[in-house]
Amino acid sequence: MRATRPPPTRSIIFICISAAAAVLITRVAIFSPSFSSELTSPATIDLAAEIEKLRQENNNLKEKYAKYTNGIEEETNVKELLEKLRQENNDLRGKYAKCINNNEEDGMVKELFDALSPEKLRQLSTKFKSTYASAQPFPHIAIDDIFPLSIIQKVIQEHPESSLKDGCIPGSMCFRAKTQNMKSGIDTDERMGTYTRLLFSFLKSSMFTKFLEDISGISNLLPDPHFRGSGLHFTATGGNLDIHADFNKYSGYNLDRRVNMFIYLNDDWPEEYGGHLELWSKDMKSCYQRIKPKLGRFVVFSSTDFSYHGHPEPIQAPDGRARRSLALYYYTNGRPVDECLNNDCSGAGHSTLFQKPVGCERCLDDICRRDDTIDSPVWMASRRRT
């Protein structure tokens, strides 16, 4: 209900004066026969004019008061209407933004599935499976431009380097040992952004798993249903991961780890920043490959008890930067015995097996490096690039 204001004080005074004047005139008319003639006298003309004037002013005040109160009501209605329109506008903006986001997500999904359709994945595996099988020191390949850059950029935006605190992801396990330092990660879906979850879902799909089976020659691969040791990896400036072979059993499922896959997320990453993935021989005397963790680069290799790899040199990037990668592992139920230490694949398995170079200290030392292959050939989805 709209609250009304009391009439202005001046208006009330005018009404009272008018009433008193009316009573006075009536009394004069009753008791004075010469009233009509007296009205024409100078003394009574002023009184009649004043009364009329007061009546007029009173009416004017009433009109102004009515107009004023109507104005308040109209103003209130306008404010209510404007607020309603603002709310409707905000709702429409929200719906529009959601629509745009949905369209963008739909576009990303389409772009990803178009770029890596079953036919294109078959073409890639057919083209590169012999290269993968013959690679040294163990089967592997590095390929650029497989994944659309648009979705890689979205993953980077969802998990920026600025999220690191004191060199590690808050709330995650952070390694600060000599063998692995300033290394942390995100290994749960709920902590991942929308596009990151989308990409992982694709990497765990039957279609992409079939591609990995074809290119690696390993049948019946199973993607990790969770993220044991995988997910998003961050190694901050000064950090490293020594050469090692990975844990070989998925506890709880009794599955054997067979394939490792990485997508690098490092934009604007010059050579001197380091963080190169090194691949070493079984006897740890030779460093065969040194792969730069370039943005969008896809690396996959067969995981055995002797697939020694890592990035042991401390990251030389400026403070605030980090080597980032997306990692996922694939398993089988059983494996060839020649992939296991002492040809024994039984038991509960082992954890990470860290190694040291034999006869040298670093991959780039002349005595360790294999000059014919030290700069790993990186393949494009459409052509080879050295």
- Indicate the domain borders of the chain: 9-109, 117-385
| Residue 26: Cβ-neighbour burial (10 angstroms; 0-12, 13-18, 19+) | exposed
- What integer pLDDT is reported at residue 269 of this predicted model? 97
CA atoms within 13 A on the CB side of 22: 9
- What integer pLDDT is reported at residue 95 of this predicted model? 62
Series of mean pLDDT values for 10-residue runs along the chain (386 residues): 45 44 41 40 55 72 67 64 69 61 74 93 96 96 95 96 91 92 95 95 96 98 96 97 97 94 97 97 95 97 98 96 98 97 93 96 88 60 51
- What integer pLDDT is reported at residue 352 of this predicted model? 97
- What integer pLDDT is reported at residue 50 of this predicted model? 65
Helix (H) or strand (E) holding 182: strand 180-186
Find out whether 39 and 45 touch, Cβ atoms under 8 Å: yes
- 336 Cβ contact list (under 8 Å, min separation 6): none
Helix (H) or strand (E) holding 58: helix 42-115
Secondary structure of residue 65 in the 3-state scheme: helix
- What integer pLDDT is reported at residue 102 of this predicted model? 62
DSSP class of 161:
G
Cα–Cα–Cα angle for 199, 290, 310, nearest 5°? 65
Secondary structure of residue 48 in the 3-state scheme: helix
Q: What is the pTM of this model?
A: 0.73
Cα–Cα–Cα angle for 287, 293, 296, nearest 5°? 135
Residue closest to 322 by CA, chosen among 154, 200, 166: 166
Cα–Cα–Cα angle for 120, 122, 125, nearest 5°? 110
- 193 Cβ contact list (under 8 Å, min separation 6): 154, 155, 157, 158, 159
Q: How would you write 88-157 as a 3-class SS string? A: HHHHHHHHHHHHHHHHHHHHHHHHHHHHCCHHHHHHHHHHHHHHHHHCCCCCEEEEECCCCHHHHHHHHH
- What integer pLDDT is reported at residue 13 of this predicted model? 41
CA dist 245 and 298 (Å) reads 20
CATH code of the region 117-385: 2.60.120.620
- 154 Cβ contact list (under 8 Å, min separation 6): 108, 193, 195, 196
- What integer pLDDT is reported at residue 65 of this predicted model? 66
Find out whether 276 and 358 touch, Cβ atoms under 8 Å: no
Cα 259 off chain centre by:
28
Retrieve residue 340's tokens. 């296991």
CA dist 156 and 326 (Å) reads 10
Retrieve residue 172's tokens. 């995650």
Given its phi and psi angles, is residue 354 left (phi above 0), alpha (psi -120 to 50 degrees) or beta? Answer: beta
Identify residue 243 by its one-letter amino acid code.
Answer: I
Residue closest to 187 by CA, chosen among 196, 176, 177: 196
- What integer pLDDT is reported at residue 132 of this predicted model? 97
